[in-house]
Structure 1
Amino acid sequence: MQIEAIRSRKSPAPPLTGSAAGKGSRWSHWLPVFTLIAFLLAWEMLVRLGDYPPFILPAPGQVARKLLTVLADGTLARHSAITLIEVLGGLALGVTVATVLGYALAKSVTVERALSPYLVASQAIPIVAIAPLLVLWFGSGLTSKILISALIVFFPILINTIAGVRGVPPDLRDLMRSLHATPWQVFIKLEVPAALPVLLAGLKVGATLSVIGAVVGEFAGANAGLGVMINVADGQYDTARMFVGVLALVVMALSLYGAVALLERRLLAWRQAGSA
């Protein structure tokens, strides 16, 4: 009896059946939807119970009606297009410069010693302090916003590039040398694949930061963009329109993050196949 009791205690729980696992998976997919519904209901109850005026806290229904209005008259599309151009331009510029410079820093101790103190010191300057200067120097057009967005993207990509290149296993480098691989072959066949996961992780961060950089630039001075739309709405006490602008920025950032995540799954499919 004692032996049977010990065996019963040590025996693992039976695995979930396929139907039970499937139900759990389906529920997990719906959790974000339920969370959003609960948030909107709580928001609506807060407005009604607190009796807040619309210029302080509009109800979700008022924000939805304002969203339909700015969609119908083209205001949201026009401002979103400008911000998206600034975001994509800043992301492309920041990633390009940071990747090239990060690779140089990772490969050369001399370059790292010469530039690292200044690169680190540059991060102590808030981007909101630099933004007005860049708008003053480069004007209120797209150029200044792209530069501001690139600056805020630059450092995370730089750090991830250095970490990715230096994280290549030394034994693999020795193997490439024993095979008499050229520097270009080492770069393409070893360094890029080995550093790619870290680089893509940095790109996820940079994709969302680029939206912040563009909006900071628009707040500093611009003629169009979602930041301008929010600023104008603030001056008019049109809080519902401000919520619409913030919602558009969230959707833009999530879309960019999702695009990078999809790119990551495509480029790193070989790792998933190898682990399987």
Structure 2
Amino acid sequence: MEISIPNLQNLKPPLGSEAGASPWLRRLRLFLTPFSLVLALFLWEGLVRLAQLPAFILPSPGRVAARFWQALADGTLLRHTSTTLLEITLGLLAGTLLATLIGYLLAKSPLFEQLFAPYLVASQAIPIVAIAPLLVIWFGPGIFTKVLICALIVFFPVLVNTVVGLRAVPQDLRALMRSLRATPWQNLRYLEIPAALPVFLGGLRVGATLSVIGAVIGELVAADRGLGFLINVGRGQYDTALVFVAVFTLVTLALLLYGAVIYMERRLLAWQSEPYKRNGNKILD
């Protein structure tokens, strides 16, 4: 059976997206980012010089850069960064998979939602920093605890966006699929996933950045490696430059993860900006 849904051709990219931006505006955005970074460095350097702050209070950008190269050269930064990145990756994958599965069940089953949604919402009232010490006591200070904390902090935003995305599927398209006697798998693959994907990826953006926070919280509570551990070492030794190095590395990881989700979003949602022409607009066979 072959079905063509011309409505998909009328979908447009979201307002304000890169696809709709003019070339000069895109060039301006590319210029503003490095300009704002250079300006921030100048202001930082000026504050240190004018206030004559000691290095253990606020090190200069040059001192932080020198500490960065030192930590990079002796392998300290790479060793701790690789540990944190592994925890982030595993936690993000675990939290996303679990949230997607439970979100689908909540969206499809009112009974399941009535039973479990109140507990899921109530769990978000407990700060992750409050239960992190308990998780360390229960499961030990190993990598599993950090991955679990990452998964917990990623779980809720992805869950909510999964439910919202699935419930935002137009009812007329659902009726069309029913009239064509589409199977549950065909409904999921050709209707629900494409319709929910933009909202789901929005939740994944949030989850990707929060996963960095989850890993650091676990490492700050109990760890012998990782960027959070490096922050503790720098704090204990009054090596504020090392703390800045670890923090900037965490920011870089968060930006890279966010950029990876943006890239994946552009690849997966290319059909929103171009007519769906594959196989002559035939989406079911």
TM-score in same-fold range (> 0.5): yes
Distance in 1, Cα, partners of 2:166 & 2:133: 35
Compute the displacement of 1:23 (Å): 5.4
Deviations 1:194-248, CA, capped at 9 Å, x for gaps: 0000001100000000000000011110110000000011000000000000000
Letter in 2 for 1:213: G
Distance in 2, Cα, partners of 1:138 & 1:122: 19
Distance in 1, Cα, partners of 2:257 & 2:175: 38
Distance in 1, Cα, partners of 2:137 & 2:90: 19
Deviations 1:101-153, CA, capped at 9 Å, x for gaps: 00000000000000011001100000001101111111111100000000000
Q: How big is the alpha-carbon RMSD for the aligned residues of Structure 1 and Structure 2?
A: 1.2
User: Which of 1 and 2 has greater Rg?
Assistant: 1
SS in 2 for 1:273: coil
Compute the displacement of 1:272 (Å): 1.0
User: Which structure 1 residue ranges, 5 or more long, are not aligned?
Assistant: 1-20
Distance in 1, Cα, partners of 2:24 & 2:116: 54
Distance in 2, Cα, partners of 1:28 & 1:80: 29
SS in 1 for 2:274: helix
Count of residue pairs brought into register by the alignment: 255
> Which residue number corresponds to residue 133 of structure 1?
134
Letter in 1 for 2:122: A
Deviations 1:233-271, CA, capped at 9 Å, x for gaps: 100000000000000000000000000100000000011
> Which residue number corresponds to residue 158 of structure 2?
157
Letter in 2 for 1:232: V
The runs of 4+ residues in structure 1 deviating greater than 2 Å are 21-28
> Which residue number corresponds to residue 247 of structure 2?
246
> Which residue number corresponds to residue 14 of structure 1?
none
> Which residue number corresponds to residue 170 of structure 2?
169
1:168-247 superposed matches below 5 A: 168-247=169-248
Which structure is higher in RCO with an 8 Å CA cutoff and minimum separation 6? 2
SS in 1 for 2:181: coil
Letter in 2 for 1:145: K
Change (3 A) 1:180 1:27: closer
Letter in 2 for 1:29: L
User: Which structure 2 residue ranges, 5 or more long, are not aligned?
Assistant: 1-21, 277-285
More helix by share: 1
Compute the displacement of 1:30 (Å): 1.1
Distance in 2, Cα, partners of 1:43 & 1:84: 28
TM-score (normalizing by structure 1): 0.91
1:56-135 superposed matches below 5 A: 56-135=57-136
Distance in 2, Cα, partners of 1:246 & 1:113: 41
